[in-house]
Structure 1
Amino acid sequence: MFKSLRSKSFIGLGLVVGAALMVSACSSQFATRGNLPDPDRLAELVPGEVHARDVAEILGTPTAHSTFGGESWYYISERVEYYAFLAPEILDRTVVQVKFNKEGFVEWVKKEDNQQGRNVAFVDRTTPTAGNEITFFEQIFGNLGRFNKDK
């Protein structure tokens, strides 16, 4: 009699623990990524007075550098929500751009959030290339008999 009560309580406990695990797996998770400088530290970047090496000491290493059109540093931060197997949703994104002049001094500082962002539509076309279209079997058996036996 006690064994059947004990086994029933273990089964009930197992069901409760299993249900708790299933419910907790469906809760959303948040992740914060990047480097968002403190507004007080951004106020220290006076255009024309602060050099790039000082910016690195004040704000830290930038997330990205510009490759064209002058020297700019980007500090990018975002907060993302993950929910089970669904695509992640970006809740907040902030980009701070620090532009330098040719002498290396700060020219201006601009802060943008996800309200100023734009979605970029990528083109799905492909560029044709010269050559042959090789089938699957040609890829597998194409080299048979092409080995140099002299070596």
Structure 2
Amino acid sequence: MPIAKPAVFAPTPPARLRLLGAGMIALLVLGGCSQLRGRQGYVVDPVLTQAITPGVDNRESVEKTLGHPSFVSQFSDNEYYYLSRETRQLAFADPRPVSQQVLRIRFDAQGNVAAVDRTGLELVSKINPEGDKTPTLGRDRSFFDDIFGNIGAVGAAGMGGPQGGNTGP
């Protein structure tokens, strides 16, 4: 009686191509799901930012310690802002903020530090625009209403106006 050999899975050449294709697709999909990290703005050094003290530091010492600010207030030169944001992004999605720190340093009239404020993501608001249009109050007009809407609404030149010029009181 002959001894039976154990069955070994040996895929046919078309099955091998399908397995190889499925493996490559899986690698592409898994590679596309990687997270991208981003950092924008000022790189925060907690030791240096904690060292800024109201009443002790001035504008010059702040710039020597932290460098030039991310931006200065639009309304006066008495406020410096240092902005730092860290974002994460999956494959082709939009980046979303993970952490944020805004360091605002206010100066008095003499240029001395008056106050130091810190805020984070709690003040960031998320807005969801509706497609390519901004919703407004008023009439909903079509393209042709915009083009031809004034026909007949305005009188012809020289007609329909008051006779004799100025009619004011």
TM-score range, shorter chain: 0.5 to 0.7
Partner of 1:22: 29
More strand by share: 1
Q: List alignment gaps of at least 5 residues for structure 2.
A: 1-11, 138-145, 148-169
Identity score, percent: 23
- The structural deviation recorded for 1:69 is 5.0
1:2-151 aligned at under 5 Å gives the runs 16-17=23-24, 19-68=26-75, 71-115=78-122, 117-119=123-125, 125=136
TM-score by length of 2: 0.58
Asked if structure 2 preserves the Cα contact closer than 8 Å seen for 1:80 and 1:90, the reply is yes
Q: For residues 20 and 69 of structure 1, what CA distance do their matches in structure 2 show?
A: 54
Q: For residues 20 and 121 of structure 2, what CA distance do their matches in structure 1 show?
A: 46
1:20–1:70: structure 2 CA closer, same or farther, 3 Å change rule? same
1:100–1:124: structure 2 CA closer, same or farther, 3 Å change rule? farther
TM-score by length of 1: 0.64
One-letter identity of the residue aligned with 1:119: S
Asked if structure 2 preserves the Cα contact closer than 8 Å seen for 1:36 and 1:75, the reply is no
**Aligned residues, how many?**
124
1:84–1:120: structure 2 CA closer, same or farther, 3 Å change rule? closer
One-letter identity of the residue aligned with 2:102: V
- The structural deviation recorded for 1:42 is 2.0
